[in-house]
Amino acid sequence: MSAVLTAEPTVEPLAAAAAAMAAELARVTVEVRGRGRGAGEAAVGAGVIWHPDGLILTNAHVAHRDVTVVLADGRACGARLVARDPRRDLAALVVDATGLPAAEIGDSGALRVGELVLAVGNPLGLVRALSAGLVHAVGPRAIHADLRLAPGNSGGPLADARGRVVGLNAMIVGGLAVAVPSREAQRFVREQLRG
Amino acid sequence: MEALLSLSNDLAGAVERAAPSIVAVHARRRLPSTGIHWRAGIVVTADHTVRMEDGITVEAADGRSRPAALVGRDPGSDLAVLRVADLDTAPAALGDDGALRVGHMVLALGYGPRASWGVISALGPRWRTWRGAEIDRLVRLDLVLYPGFSGGPLVDAAGRVVGLNTSGLARESRLALPVTTVARVTDELLRKGHVARAYLGIGMQPVRLPEPLRAALGLPGDGGLIVVMVEPDGPAARAGLLLGDVLVALDGAPTGDLEDVQAQLGAERIGTTVTALVLRAGARTEVRITVGERPRRGAS
């Protein structure tokens, strides 16, 4: 293998690819806001559009009840909490919309330590901010990533270098990002919504 | 998006290439540290993570735990060397730390393997640690050294080991010992079990010398080192150096700061005599000191 980033011309396409992917990921990421205590409520977390017909996945600790989600195009929609699993820290929301830009879901089971990962969320009130890092360690219940998150990233996507969502960011532990693997999220969707 | 994918694959490939040579070192309570299988049967790790001398075990990439014998340790450079019988996993592929450039992408790896990503944030010339060891080059990192990462490899984008990461040499920043230094110190530890350092047995602080005094006594520099501690029965004490003496030169070379003293005291000076020019009670005095060897930690 050739050493990465030693040949000059590779850097520019890299930056362009990262920017394109950030924009793509931002489209499938929603802001999750609290509801009922005034219109100006700040984002409490993020979510991932899982299905074009209005299914959105987020963390259970972000969605305790019905919430408002804000799409990338600026639309704010009321979302119904349809399933919640605090043990896995997952929740499913449904908005009354169709044709939404849904995320492409990757296989968290195929992740390798050292792979690049990207996260989009609303850390500290910034809307759809990007963080980049890499896979630190992979376990069946959690992906640990060497990547800087902040409160507000919760429920947002962790994506691989192809832009496929491989996890939902859930926690920061000892400086590491901890995400719920996409396999867990798919199992949750199967069990809760089709069962 | 091809560029991103190929970078991602390269980084994951670098981790996979380095992973077989990474071990977990169980030489302290709670959290193990990381070690590098340096060459057949020899593991290097960060000395500050080795808190016991007996009962050390090493868990290799194959998941098997093996007993390890402490061959030698050098707190000065924060390096410890272990011998592990029956370690049949591949030793590390070494890179060239001289080829590193500021901005190069690097990975710090821990046992598992676990990975941390960053860049070389600064490079510098030969430097001396706070414990007196000479490090061949300064390698400063912009990455996170997670708990248990000390003693693990710093790996370049091709998966070659270019350094050993440690949080034990600087409080605020993350540093790596370049492989050049690791190789040198490891060889010495394998030969002798410890790294010999010259030793006078005094603690000193820099002081400025007033101009009239310098002129009156014909002193070489504008600063000196006041002796604030004399180790009882140490080399300096035996030679008659006193608390409050101000060291102004060693063998004719001015000693304005501690670096000047260390520069005069390589390991080759052990057993030889140096002439210390000191100020005592406002007058020049010469004291001849036989340079000793720094006592080892835990040695009786």
Q: Please check whether residue B55 lies inside any domain of the structure.
A: yes
Last-in-domain residue among B152, B180, B208 = B180
- CATH class, A108-189 region: mainly beta
Q: Please check whether residue B154 lies inside any domain of the structure.
A: yes
In this predicted structure, the answer to whether residue B131 has a pLDDT above a threshold of 90 is no
Exposed, middle or buried by CB within 10 Å (0-12, 13-18, 19+), for B288?
A: exposed
In this predicted structure, the answer to whether residue B128 has a pLDDT above a threshold of 80 is yes
Query: Whole-prediction pTM value?
Result: 0.81
Same domain, residue pair B129 and B203? no
Nearest to A14 among B7, B9, B19 (CB): B7
Total structural domains within chain B: 3
pLDDT at position A123, please? 82
Interchain proximity A114–B11, CB inside 8 Å: yes
> How far does the CA of residue A4 sit from the closest CA of chain B (Å)?
6
Let me know how long chain B is: 300
| Residue in B204, B188, B207 with CA at minimum distance from that of residue B196 | B188
CB-facing half-sphere around the CA of B90: CA atoms within 13 A:
10
pLDDT at position A36, please? 55
The answer, for A33 touching chain B at a CB cutoff of 8 Å, is no
pLDDT at position A9, please? 54
Same domain, residue pair B210 and B288? yes
Q: How far is residue A30 CA from its own chain's centroid?
A: 9
Same domain, residue pair B128 and B207? no
Last-in-domain residue among B35, B56, B84 = B84
Low-confidence stretches of chain A (pLDDT beneath 50): 1-3, 5, 7
Same domain, residue pair B286 and B226? yes
Same domain, residue pair B139 and B167? yes
Domain that holds residue B216: 198-293
Q: Please check whether residue B193 lies inside any domain of the structure.
A: no
B64-122 pLDDT per residue, tens: 999 999 999 999 999 999 999 989 999 999 999 999 999 999 999 999 999 999 999 99
Q: Please check whether residue B49 lies inside any domain of the structure.
A: yes
Same domain, residue pair B58 and B124? no
pLDDT at position B197, please? 83
Nearest to A114 among B5, B12, B104 (CB): B12
Last-in-domain residue among B47, B62, B84 = B84
Q: Which residues contact A102 (CB under 8 A, 6 or more apart)?
A: A28, A49, A50, A51, A52
B269-296 pLDDT per residue, tens: 899 999 999 999 889 999 999 999 888 7
Model confidence at B3, pLDDT cuts 50, 70, 90, reads confident
Nearest CA in chain A to B19: A113
Same domain, residue pair B210 and B281? yes
pLDDT at position A93, please? 97
| Chain A residues closer than 8 Å to B9 by CB | 115, 161
Q: How far is residue A50 CA from its own chain's centroid?
A: 10
Helix (H) or strand (E) holding A84: strand A76-85
Q: How far is residue B37 CA from its own chain's centroid?
A: 19
Mean pLDDT of B185-192: 94
| Chain A residues closer than 8 Å to B147 by CB | 174
Q: Which comes out higher in pLDDT, residue A148 or B300? A: A148
Interior/surface letters B37-68, b for 16+ CB within 10 angstroms, e for the rest: bbeeebbbbbbbbbeeeeebbbbbbeeeebeb
| Chain B residues closer than 8 Å to A14 by CB | 3-4, 7
B22-66 pLDDT per residue, tens: 999 999 998 999 999 999 999 999 999 999 989 999 999 999 999
DSSP B145: -
B213-249 pLDDT per residue, tens: 888 888 888 899 999 999 999 999 999 999 999 999 9
What count of CB pairs under 8 Å joins A to B?
100
Q: Please check whether residue B91 lies inside any domain of the structure.
A: no
Q: What is the CATH number of the domain that holds B269?
A: 2.30.42.10
pLDDT at position B228, please? 95
pLDDT at position A37, please? 54
Exposed, middle or buried by CB within 10 Å (0-12, 13-18, 19+), for B232?
A: exposed
Q: What is the CATH number of the domain that holds B149?
A: 2.40.10.10
Nearest to B7 among A4, A16, A176 (CB): A4
pLDDT at position B124, please? 94
Interchain proximity B2–A17, CB inside 8 Å: yes
